[in-house]
Structure 1
Amino acid sequence: MTRSTRWKAPAPFASFGRAIRRGIGGAVLVAAVGCAGMAQAQQVTVTIPAAPGGGWDNTARMTMQTLQKEKLVTGGIQFVNKGGGVGIIGLTDFVRNNKGNDNGLMFMGVIMLSSILTNRSAITMDDVAPLARLTREYNAVAVPADSPIKTSADLVAELKKDPGAFAVGGSGVGTVDHLTMALIAKTQGIPANKLNFIAFSGGEIVPALVGGKIKAAVSGLSELYPLAKAGRIRLVAVTSDNRLPGVDIPTLKEAGLDVSVSNWRGVVGAPGMSEAARKEWIGRFETMAKSPEWAAALEKQGMENAYLGGEAFSAFIASENKNWQGLLKEAGLVN
């Protein structure tokens, strides 16, 4: 029967047809809701391009725990730590093994951008789906608890004596950690290539510092501050412009060193992630970023809420790439 016939069903048939349509419509609605719930309940694979215990690892686990507490993720979560190459090995593994995975996530940050530049990686941020910038924090310069170095002036004095003999640890060549030391050295007229900078993966830097393998370390404040409060290490300075609330540690600028560097972290989706899934994940992170649970988690870790989602985050990454090329050249870390 075509529309043109305009056949009118008798009352019994018409009411029966309406009942059938309501049943079908209800079934479709239930199916749609069920599919959305299934997508949310599926296992999420979270790649962390670093060893356990470091900044990326802590941020990833804190974020996913908050999503679960807020019931924004209800399925299982598999964490995959792939350290090495200052994030490049993890990035490569993520891109190769998660194509089209709507529940494939990778945590990353500014360190990865600089690593891509300094290593001239063939795989870049163009190969993933940016979802959200989540946190921002500043670095701290740390020394062993029994070190004679107590201030930035002491640090500079030791550095100037013999840069090659002053071993400093960080997360990798060209990272925020390395850049911090390179800029400190620059204020003293010391070329970056004269520094004895030793790269560590994930949470290895703290044992190296406590064990005396290095004389100083540069890493995220959230990673180092709890250890300083416990008396295991001493924090000499932070890389913020001004002293941070609740953190009684002087800045490098207070010591006359014109150095200010921040470290942000975020999350990206798998290559080929569907647009629907991308929007859904961005929505989850945006909701989480506004929650009291997230605010409490950030305060506990000494991090700032730096949420930026979707296309704004993509534009931010492009801008950061340009900025970092300039900074790395200024520090003599790339040509």
Structure 2
Amino acid sequence: MRKLTAIAAAFLTILVASPGFAQSELKIMAPAGPGGGWDQTARAMQQALITSGLVRSVQVVNVPGAGGSVGLAQLINSARGDGHQLMVNGFVMVGALLTNKSAVSLDQATPIARLTEEVEVIVVPASSPIKDAKDLAAALKADAGKVRWTGGSAGGVDHITAALFAQAAGADASKINYIPFSGGGESLAALLGARVTAGISGYGEYEGQIKAGKLRVIGVTAEKRVDGIDAPTFKEQGIDLVIANWRSVMAPPGLTPQQRDDLIALVDKMAKSQPWKDALKQKGWDDALLTGDAFASFLQHEQQRVAGVLKSVGLVKP
């Protein structure tokens, strides 16, 4: 009997020490206000983790400000060594940290995983003489300032896409004429009113007007054609442009190797769970899972690429 009791105790110790049991409670920070993309991602994670039985309790907290810079500072300065905390972030934060001249950087946090991505589309009004990527490239090379772009905030993924297109087309990216709007509705109105030449966003933002025949997609920023979007990639058209608006999760600095591995394993299991797959389908997000060192390498590359683009358009000084 004593031997059986000892075996049972040893087995229980192994269970309690396993990653699934170690993460009995978790905090996920969304470094933005409620309702946005980062907040939606955090709450979808919360639901998937609990429904899958991977974590007993998940708290989502919102820490808005400066494109995520405020939340990142809190993660770095106040949560060091906390293996029960994650922060949602993404492409937008990379540019925001640079343009806001943030005192903290993503290099100070612990990369865990990239979760989702959404490719961009470039559209023009249906009445536009620009029919494809080559026409747009030719217009830019003739006079970059005359091509009026619209999209989201300055320094964001839409702005960077415009600059990368100009560079790939052989035009001067520092002369692009980009008109940012905080809301998709304003950008759409400018396009439909032919007050701008081209618009950039995720496909979903323009889908209704595309299907109604009022906007024309001239290209997709994906590596290969995207199901459901009847348009070629830019690479197919001879423009070397691939970019996506991705979202990911980071952890605080100062974690032990075991804490880091446990969090990576936890997020990996969540991302492969049925509740998470259901959330992706419901929200129209593309699965882009990349974990651990592979994600850390990707993040370094994206930071370098974004810094180069923002310098080329004058938003960040060399």
TM-score band w.r.t. shorter chain = 0.7 to 0.9
Q: Report the more deviating stretch, 95-104 or 158-167.
A: 158-167
Residue of structure 2 equivalent to 1:168: 150
Q: 2:16 is matched by which residue type in structure 1?
A: V
1:209 and 2:187 aligned: yes
Instruction: Assess if the C-alpha contact under 8 Å between 1:163 and 1:196 holds in 2.
Output: no
> Match for 1:124 among 90, 97, 105?
105
Cα distance in structure 1, aligned partners of 2:268 and 2:15 = 23
- Which secondary structure state, in structure 1, belongs to the residue aligned with residue 55 of structure 2? coil
Cα distance in structure 1, aligned partners of 2:79 and 2:286 = 30
Q: How far did 1:24 drift?
A: 10
Q: 1:225 to 1:312 in 2, by over 3 A?
A: same
> Match for 2:12 among 5, 25, 29?
29
Matches within 5 A, 1:1-335: 18=2, 22=5, 26=9, 29=12, 33=16, 39-42=22-25, 44-84=26-66, 86-141=67-122, 148-149=127-128, 163=145, 166=148, 168-173=150-155, 175-186=156-167, 187=169, 189-198=171-180, 200=182, 205-210=183-188, 212=190, 215=196, 217-221=199-203, 223-224=204-205, 234=215, 236=217, 237-253=219-235, 257-329=239-311, 334=316, 335=318
Residue segments in structure 2 that go unaligned for 5+ positions in a row: none
- Which secondary structure state, in structure 2, belongs to the residue aligned with residue 76 of structure 1? strand
Cα distance in structure 2, aligned partners of 1:94 and 1:199 = 29
Q: 1:30 to 1:259 in 2, by over 3 A?
A: closer
Instruction: Assess if the C-alpha contact under 8 Å between 2:122 and 2:201 holds in 1.
Output: yes
Instruction: Assess if the C-alpha contact under 8 Å between 2:144 and 2:176 holds in 1.
Output: no
Cα distance in structure 2, aligned partners of 1:251 and 1:35 = 44
TM-score (structure 2 length as normaliser): 0.74
Q: How far did 1:247 drift?
A: 1.9
Once superposed, what is the RMSD of the aligned Cα atoms? Answer: 4.1
Cα distance in structure 1, aligned partners of 2:148 and 2:186 = 14
- Identity fraction in percent: 34
TM-score (structure 1 length as normaliser): 0.71
Q: How far did 1:307 drift?
A: 2.0
Q: How far did 1:296 drift?
A: 4.2
- Which secondary structure state, in structure 1, belongs to the residue aligned with residue 57 of structure 2? coil
Cα distance in structure 2, aligned partners of 1:206 and 1:259 = 23
Aligned residues: 308
Q: Report the more deviating stretch, 56-65 or 27-36.
A: 27-36
Q: 1:256 to 1:300 in 2, by over 3 A?
A: farther
Instruction: Assess if the C-alpha contact under 8 Å between 1:140 and 1:235 holds in 2.
Output: no
Q: How far did 1:131 drift?
A: 0.9
Q: 1:155 to 1:71 in 2, by over 3 A?
A: farther
- Which secondary structure state, in structure 1, belongs to the residue aligned with residue 261 of structure 2? helix
Q: 1:193 to 1:319 in 2, by over 3 A?
A: same
